[in-house]
Structure 1
Amino acid sequence: MLNIGGLLKRKSLADLSIDRPVFAWMLMTFMIVFGAISFMRLGVSQMPDIDFPVLDVSITYEGAAPAVIEADLVEPIESRVISVEGLKEIRSTIRQGGANIRLDFEINRNIDSALQEVQAAISQMRLPVGIDPPVIRKQNPEEDPILTLGLQSKQSPRDTIRFADLVLVDQFQVLPGVGEVNVQGFSTRNLRINVDNNKIKKNLLTVLDIATAVQQGHSELGAGYIEDKEKSTNVRAMGEGVEPEEIGNMWIRSRGGEVIREPVLRIKDVAEVEDGLTDVRRFARINGVSGLALGIKKQRGSNEVKVAEEVYKKVDELNKTLPEGYKLQVNADYSRATGQIVETTTHKLMMAAAVTAIICFLFLGTWSSVINVLLSIPTSILGTFIVLYFAGFTLNLFTLLALALAISIVVDDAIMMLENIIRHFKMGKTRK
């Protein structure tokens, strides 16, 4: 029966392995088996999953000049966030229609807590009318796209956007390991109301009256509920207009703040409603053909290479069933570098094992010494994967670089230890 207390009193692992060879073999088998399992479950990415102590604040103010953005938004935001604990530096970049504010914190600052404090500080500001709230993001390489897909289209921009948003995004979103799919290089859909000046003058209306009619009619409100003895039914007023005809049929109920009695007017009587896109400020072309770009982001901690393989399979599958005029292709694959690093490290490990076997046989002259050294390599390396897995690390540029450097150290130490053992045996010493 194995005396655990006696084992724990041993001074070193070497003494324990010599005295209990079965225990040593069990320990080595454990490290190899569970190390291989951990390796298969490890996430693979180009960069480590780490949140940098940096926050980016993005501001969009369409049509505003840089001087206006600086005075109305950037300076007030800077004055609000400057008191956040651990803030080291503020850098602002202002352009026509928007700005970016970079907040650098101390390296030991909890970035999640800092994010909440910055959000609280900015939420207390009074923003100009019509501007979207600033977007605050953390910097993490894991949130960058691993693939960029290009959708070539001979259809209208509106149909292309609708197809990508309603069909393609869902197709890739359900793939294992995919975290988010962003559609890029397009303008969002909107409904334009082109007012006829002659008609609104004839009816003594203004553009503000038209805007008021849209605000009142383009809404969906809760209207309570209806109850009887058996059930309760929710009631709502469905007034949101999503098509040009629905907007055109909305009533104009006031003129200069006063209720209109006669004549009864609709928006289509004084204006034309058309379905279109927002002002085109960016567009995408793929091989000279208009199209869209789809950025594929992986889930944090997932295997970047396997996710990319699944996306490639889905692209080939979709190209066989896409409607006429559409073609999908991979424009950029950022996971290839990660795959090459893994292949290089694996190749280096195999080469190190082969060279080690040859050198050991030439200098030590026995196959038993070769086997002992070769067993030390997978035991040490696979045992490292157990620690990486339970510590929450991924196989990335830094961990693989460290692993590649460690291989030579493991091989060198194994040869030196074995050579020293053989020397002591030649001196007449025994295992005990």
Structure 2
Amino acid sequence: MFSRFIQRPVLSIVISLIIVFLGVLAITGLPVTQFPSISPPKVNVVVDYPGANNELMIKSVIIPLERAINGVPGMKYMASDAGNDGEATVQVIFNLGTDPNVASLNVQNRVASVVNKLPPLVVREGVKISREESNMLMYINLYSEDPNTDQKFLFNFADINILSELKRVDGVGYADILGNREYAMRIWLKPDRMLAYKISADEVMEALSKQSLEASPGKTGESSGKRSQSFEYVLKYSGRFTTKEQYENVVVRSSSNGELLRLKDVADVEFGSSMYDIYSNLNGKPSAALVLKQSYGSNASQTIENVKKKMKEIQASSFPKGMKYEISYDVSKFLDASIEKVLHTLVEAFILVGLVVFLFLGDWRSTIIPAMAVPVSLIGTFMFMQYFNITLNLITLFAMVLAIGVVVDDAIVVIEAVHAKMEEQHLSPRKATKKAMKEISGAIIAITFLMAAVFIPVAFMSGPVGM
């Protein structure tokens, strides 16, 4: 078989060029990440229960959700967490190889079957189900030079004008703002006033739900089909209250003689933030911290470039005077520097191999053979990396550095065997090559299978080791 390639060098060159061409095409489409994705798929179920403590969250929310989710296809285990801030999280971890999209859908179906058993406040706040993206991409801090700009404004500006744009960037799998400073009408109840008027928090909630609501009043004057109507009016309702004054004047209780107890009599009303649990500062100035994570199979460097480009567009079109942003963490800096060092190592190893071959054999034609074999083998590797959905990361690049030695060893063994035949038996290069290959081809194949027997079985191991 090998003699056919020796007799037809053009065929060998064409095959090598095809391998190089396919490898170059694969390089352009390979996803680039810092580290390989070996963590199991995770799906998070987040619920909010305003005013609830840890014990109440476990009894009324966590236990029903765990019972419904338990046994979902592909599930490995799950972990739950509930705090005294009214927020609970159920994290479902799946087996390696499970499709995260299918896993998220299965969890969503299980949660939907138990939503009617959850407290009404939890249902009103909504149950959020999302995949967890493990590849951190970058942090962006939004701040303002204007001292009058507070964190509340920065958060809501980022939420309205920036976050939705970044979520649409190709390669961004997760985008969110740390904390929750969304605009909200805060009602701070006064216990002493409530005790004096004998008012409970439930009565306040009931008054708010009855007076601040969305309604569809319909139409008046619509034709009935029996007689024509000259005018038709669409009735409009202002909807939920939107100002501080409207909430202050909510009637909590009324008496038969016309006395009214308003919300402002038992509470302080302010236009504030939904939560105050997380504060973000940059160099002593209030800021909104945006966190971005990479979607699986995307190119980290290209995604970051797209995000930076999008941020410049938003800054030019939407930013008010004095508002700026700063990229506090950018994985591409470390990633590019690390990949550059690995590529330098590849080039250095390639040059050293060529020097060693030339020094020991003293023949420039013999040096060309491993110099051509190494690039063909390495570039062709990218084709198989794409076929097996392997990302281009620090681990795979380091493995390619180690693989140079294996490729060069085989090439040097062949060259030395050919040189020995030419010197001892005074044969021509072609005849010496044929004779040498007949003697050592079995040994080279055996060495290749031996190396495969060492490394390939590891790929069939379960867990992160196999991945």
TM-score (norm 2): 0.71
Using the alignment, how far apart are the partners of 1:147 and 1:180 within structure 2? 11
Secondary structure, aligned partner of 1:130: helix
- Say how many residue pairs are matched: 403
Specify which of 30, 45, 50 is matched with residue 42 of structure 1.
30
Using the alignment, how far apart are the partners of 1:83 and 1:176 within structure 2? 34
* Aligned residues of 2:349 and 2:401 also touching (Cα < 8 A): no
What is the aligned partner in structure 2 of residue 244 from structure 1? Answer: 243
TM-score (norm 1): 0.76
Using the alignment, how far apart are the partners of 1:74 and 1:380 within structure 2? 54
What is the aligned partner in structure 2 of residue 352 from structure 1? Answer: 349
1:152 aligns with 2:114: no
Indicate how the Cα distance of structure 1 residues 50 and 281 shifts in structure 2: closer, same or farther if over 3 A, else same: same
What is the aligned partner in structure 2 of residue 188 from structure 1? Answer: 182
What is the aligned partner in structure 2 of residue 4 from structure 1? Answer: none
* Aligned residues of 1:54 and 1:102 also touching (Cα < 8 A): yes
Using the alignment, how far apart are the partners of 2:16 and 2:166 within structure 1? 42
**Offset at 1:284?**
0.4
1:287 aligns with 2:283: yes
- Structure 2 counterparts to residues 137-176 of structure 1, below 5 A: 137-141=130-134, 144-153=135-144, 154=147, 155-169=149-163, 172-173=166-167
Secondary structure, aligned partner of 2:81: strand
Using the alignment, how far apart are the partners of 2:80 and 2:248 within structure 1? 46
Amino acid at match of 1:296: L
After alignment, is 297-306 or 364-373 more displaced?
Answer: 297-306
Listed one character per residue, the Cα deviations across residues 139-188 of structure 1 (whole Å, up to 9, x for unaligned) are: 443xx431101122331333222322233335645655445532224411
Percent identical pairs in the alignment equals 27
Specify which of 288, 292, 300 is matched with residue 304 of structure 1.
300
Secondary structure, aligned partner of 2:287: strand
Higher strand fraction (1 or 2) = 1
After alignment, is 271-280 or 390-399 more displaced?
Answer: 271-280
Listed one character per residue, the Cα deviations across residues 16-58 of structure 1 (whole Å, up to 9, x for unaligned) are: 3213211111111122233223212322112335671544433
What is the aligned partner in structure 1 of residue 118 from structure 2? Answer: 127
* Aligned residues of 1:47 and 1:396 also touching (Cα < 8 A): yes
What is the aligned partner in structure 2 of residue 275 from structure 1? Answer: 271
Indicate how the Cα distance of structure 1 residues 121 and 177 shifts in structure 2: closer, same or farther if over 3 A, else same: closer
What is the aligned partner in structure 1 of residue 89 from structure 2? Answer: 100
1:368 aligns with 2:368: no
Indicate how the Cα distance of structure 1 residues 364 and 383 shifts in structure 2: closer, same or farther if over 3 A, else same: same
**Offset at 1:130?**
0.4
Amino acid at match of 1:151: L
Q: Which runs of 5+ in 2 are unaligned?
A: 198-202, 224-231, 435-467
**Offset at 1:417?**
2.3
After alignment, is 339-348 or 418-427 more displaced?
Answer: 418-427
Q: Which runs of 5+ in 1 are unaligned?
A: 1-11, 228-232
Amino acid at match of 2:280: A
Specify which of 418, 421, 431 is matched with residue 421 of structure 1.
418
What is the aligned partner in structure 1 of residue 332 from structure 2? Answer: 335
1:67 aligns with 2:52: no
What is the aligned partner in structure 2 of residue 9 from structure 1? Answer: none
Using the alignment, how far apart are the partners of 1:381 and 1:337 within structure 2? 24
**Offset at 1:211?**
1.4
What is the aligned partner in structure 2 of residue 19 from structure 1? Answer: 7
Using the alignment, how far apart are the partners of 2:47 and 2:151 within structure 1? 27
**Offset at 1:114?**
4.6
Superposed CA RMSD: 4.2
* Aligned residues of 1:52 and 1:138 also touching (Cα < 8 A): no
Using the alignment, how far apart are the partners of 1:381 and 1:210 within structure 2? 72
Using the alignment, how far apart are the partners of 1:394 and 1:25 within structure 2? 29
Indicate how the Cα distance of structure 1 residues 299 and 103 shifts in structure 2: closer, same or farther if over 3 A, else same: closer
Using the alignment, how far apart are the partners of 1:347 and 1:287 within structure 2? 37
Using the alignment, how far apart are the partners of 1:301 and 1:309 within structure 2? 16
* Aligned residues of 1:173 and 1:179 also touching (Cα < 8 A): yes
**Offset at 1:194?**
7.4
